[in-house]
């Protein structure tokens, strides 16, 4: 069970959080302008990286704020925690 350092509340048990998958997938600005293939890529395709992965979590039994984690999906080590809108930090495994 992870210990997640919520950027708003500090370290809390994983049980207080919910993971919502890959971060930094922007909704296409003009969905009509893109092909079905591109739309499907936005809808369904995920990097699913083995290694450093950027993902969204929400502190749903806490401040209810969303934020991002950089996590090594092999060691499960959390390498960085950053707020929505912030650029993903460069991290090393």
Rounded Cα distance, 89 and 92, in Å: 10
Q: Which of 8, 9, 15, 89 binds other proteins (CB under 8 A)?
A: 15
Rounded Cα distance, 47 and 63, in Å: 28
CB 64 within 8 A of CB 91: no
> What secondary structure letter does DSSP report for 7?
T
Pattern of binders to other proteins over 24-63, x per CB under 8 A? --xxx--xx---xx-xxx-xxxxxxxx--x-xx-x-x---
Q: Give residues in contact with other proteins (CB under 8 A).
A: 1-3, 13-15, 18-22, 26-28, 31-32, 36-37, 39-41, 43-50, 53, 55-56, 58, 60, 64-66, 71, 73-76, 84-85
């Amino acid at each position: 069970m992870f210990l997640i350092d919520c950027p708003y509340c500090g370290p809390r048990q994983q049980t207080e959080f919910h993971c919502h998958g890959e971060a930094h997938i922007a909704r296409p600005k003009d969905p009509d302008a893109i092909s079905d293939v591109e739309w499907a890529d936005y809808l369904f395709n995920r990097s699913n990286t083995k290694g450093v992965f950027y993902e969204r979590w929400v502190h749903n039994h806490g401040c209810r704020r969303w934020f991002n984690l950089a996590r090594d999906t092999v060691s499960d080590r959390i390498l960085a925690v950053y707020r929505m809108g912030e650029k993903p930090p460069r991290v090393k495994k």
